[in-house]
Structure 1
Amino acid sequence: MDRLDAMRLFARIVELGSFTAAADDLNLPRATVTHAIKGLEERLRTQLLQRTTRRVRTTRDGEAYYNHCVRLLADVDAVETDFRETNVQPRGRLRIDLPAQMAKLWLIPSLPAFFARYPQIELDIGTGDRLVDLLREGVDCVLRVGQLPDSGLVGRRVGTLEQVTVASAAYVRREGSPRTLADLQDGHYAVNWASPTTHRSEPLDFMVKRKRREVVLPGRVTVSGVEAYLSCCEAGLGIAQFPRYRAAEGLASGRLKEILPETPPPSLPVTVLYSAHRQMPARLRVFVDWLVGVMAKQL
């Protein structure tokens, strides 16, 4: 194994936190990985990694060497990209993570056209709304909805989602439909949404004369999953807020009723995120461009 390959291997071990995961990711025997890292440490005359029963961590020298590797490998990838012929088809596997309902409604039905254009790209698709650690989990990009914490990732805005405040038809018959925010705070209750990352219940949000206003309502149930949130609302357990596309079927069938349409929730940004630490490979670049195009038609 030459030095560049050893650097790539070392970087993947650090990013995935595991010799076995790096071996699987690079399709190498575990023995080859162990031998290569041992040789690298002997050549550098320092310990780069600390092995525990659960995880592999960098030493102080290992962290410094990893940062050098990332910059050097990015430069090498950039040079190769600059000199690569433009008519070469992007190829290889991408690991991506998408919100489940968006994937089902918009993205997966559009994939046949993507594969027709890029037949040598393979996709490993995860669906969920949790915070994914791209480097540690070996994920190339994620599509996320809402305001995002500062993560050091590159973000490309692909659009915004209109939101709507709803209650079930049964809830409206039983409790009435509030006409103002003052009515809302007089005896109504919500299906409370708890952030999967902070585990704190989030208030309902409304736009009043272009200003954001938060309303905290009592709730009989608190959930942190999108499907459970919708199911609880449809069961009449309280008022909730969704991107309009998520509530569209319930509104069309009459199971859900829109309330307070004059003071809607603020729109949610939709962003594709990928690592800033590597040169963007062609397969990721064309996928992100395709993803932006698909979302632009829907939003």
Structure 2
Amino acid sequence: MDQLSAMRTFVRVVETGNFTRAAAALSIPKTTVTNLVQALEAHLRTRLLNRTTRRVTVTTDGALYYERAIQILSELDELDGSLTNSQAQPSGRLRVEMAGAFADTLVIPSLCDFYLRYPQIQLDIGVGDRLVDYLAENVDCALRGGTPTDQSLVTRKVGEIRLSCYAAPRYLEKFGMPQHPLDLTASHFCVGYLMVPSGKVFSMDFRRGDESHEIEPRYVVSVNDSRTYVKAAIAGMGVAISAPYFVKEAVEKGELVPVLTDWQCESIPLNIVYPRTRHLSNKVRVFVDWLVKLVHDLDKDSPAEERFTQAPAKMQRR
């Protein structure tokens, strides 16, 4: 038995929840996964997993073995990486999740540059604002706006995004121009952004000098996707807050106009997150470093009203 392979296989079965997903994540046959786990159990003379036709659960011994195994494998990967990362060209598939707005306006337009730097990395980009099961879906990292509350995730800040307020001309023709943030709770409607997994609607924080207001939006529609959120605002469903960079085209076309321009909206952090139990591979490292530089360059080259800012962010999101 290759004990190291068996240990890695067992860890992946625990993380994904069944043998089929573990086999897919490891790109090996399911029978190989089964044989490796059985051989490991025989070697240790204890049962690590309880199996039924529907699910796989970890035994008490299995849970203890898993905790030690991930530490050993992480240290081994770190040791290997410390000797090879400086010489080896990053390669392999990299699975990244991000919101559609980030993909469309930030990452995709600059991907040719990333490919020229790292031609041996194959990027699989999942687009959406949904809640991700990083281990079961074999996701390496995600680009997220806001500070994750999940303590199992490691967070690295990439930058911050300043938000501004917008509405469609058709909405303003019907409801008029809001004059104060408190109007958004009294005589106006907003487009609600539904956060995953809390199910709460994103609050709007405004500040002008010493005056500040946290607004709980009054809405007739809420969505949980960033691109759909902008589309709803363009359709005249209410006032919305967004990064100027994300709505630049809509503003240029006259589909959205800035509102409450004498108020500053709270900025939100832009982070890369990944599971704490997963070793940060060289391909993830170079992708994160590339993103940090990309955001920095955009901040330097963009007009002031579109920049990723360095203002402190207080909001806890996602």
Conserved 8 A contact 1:93-1:123: yes
Instruction: Find the counterpart in structure 1 of residue 47 from structure 2.
Output: 47
Q: Using structure 1 for the length normalisation, give the TM-score.
A: 0.92
* 5+ long unaligned stretches in structure 2: 299-307, 309-318
Instruction: Find the counterpart in structure 2 of residue 289 from structure 1.
Output: 289
**Per-residue deviation, 1:211:** 6.2
Specify whether residues 211 and 276 from structure 1 end up closer, same or farther in structure 2 by C-alpha distance, changes over 3 A only. farther
Structure 1 CA distance for aligned equivalents of residues 234 and 109 of structure 2 = 27
Conserved 8 A contact 1:207-1:266: yes
Conserved 8 A contact 2:168-2:255: yes
**Per-residue deviation, 1:114:** 1.9
Corresponding letter in the other structure for 2:145: V
Instruction: Find the counterpart in structure 2 of residue 252 from structure 1.
Output: 252
**Per-residue deviation, 1:54:** 3.8
Conserved 8 A contact 2:178-2:259: yes
**Per-residue deviation, 1:12:** 1.0
Conserved 8 A contact 2:185-2:218: no
Structure 2 CA distance for aligned equivalents of residues 101 and 34 of structure 1 = 41
Which 10-residue stretch deviates more, 221-230 or 149-158? Answer: 221-230
**Per-residue deviation, 1:3:** 0.7
Which 10-residue stretch deviates more, 31-40 or 175-184? Answer: 175-184
Instruction: Find the counterpart in structure 2 of residue 109 from structure 1.
Output: 109
Q: Using structure 2 for the length normalisation, give the TM-score.
A: 0.87
Conserved 8 A contact 2:184-2:218: no
Please show how residues 37-186 of structure 1 align to structure 2 within 5 Å.
Answer: 37-84=37-84, 86-186=86-186
Specify whether residues 154 and 234 from structure 1 end up closer, same or farther in structure 2 by C-alpha distance, changes over 3 A only. same
* 5+ long unaligned stretches in structure 1: none
Secondary structure, counterpart of 1:97 in structure 2: strand
Secondary structure, counterpart of 2:179 in structure 1: coil
Secondary structure, counterpart of 1:181 in structure 2: coil
Corresponding letter in the other structure for 1:238: G
> What's the % identity of the aligned pairs?
39
Secondary structure, counterpart of 1:136 in structure 2: coil
Aligned pair count reads 299
Conserved 8 A contact 2:166-2:241: yes
Please show how residues 191-206 of structure 1 align to structure 2 within 5 Å.
Answer: 191-206=191-206
Corresponding letter in the other structure for 2:257: K
Corresponding letter in the other structure for 2:146: G
Structure 1 CA distance for aligned equivalents of residues 258 and 11 of structure 2 = 51
User: Is 1:27 the equivalent of 2:30?
Assistant: no
Structure 1 CA distance for aligned equivalents of residues 15 and 7 of structure 2 = 12
Corresponding letter in the other structure for 2:101: Q
Structure 1 CA distance for aligned equivalents of residues 248 and 21 of structure 2 = 41
Conserved 8 A contact 2:171-2:237: yes
Conserved 8 A contact 2:101-2:226: no
Deviations 1:132-175 (A, max 9, x none): 22223211111001232133222111111111111110111221
Secondary structure, counterpart of 2:205 in structure 1: strand
Secondary structure, counterpart of 2:135 in structure 1: helix
